[in-house]
Amino acid sequence: MFEIRVICKPDDADRIGQALATAFDTGPARQYPTRDGKRTRLYITADHRPTTPESE
């Protein structure tokens, strides 16, 4: 498991979160404004997707 941090325009946050969720198993994105208030910081906990289905 690892943490991804992205700094982006507020309008791009949902699109970036969806793209990361497609590539990785992710938790909910935490959003905070940057110090200048013009951009958004996204923090997403992620893990690699398994390459083969797990047997039950």
Q: Which of 32, 30, 34 is nearest to 45 (CA)?
A: 30
Per-residue pLDDT of the chain (56 residues; tens, 9 = 90+): 999 999 999 999 999 999 999 999 999 999 999 999 999 999 999 999 887 666 55
DSSP annotation of 11: G
Q: Which of 23, 19, 27 is nearest to 1 (CA)?
A: 27
The whole model's pTM is what? 0.80
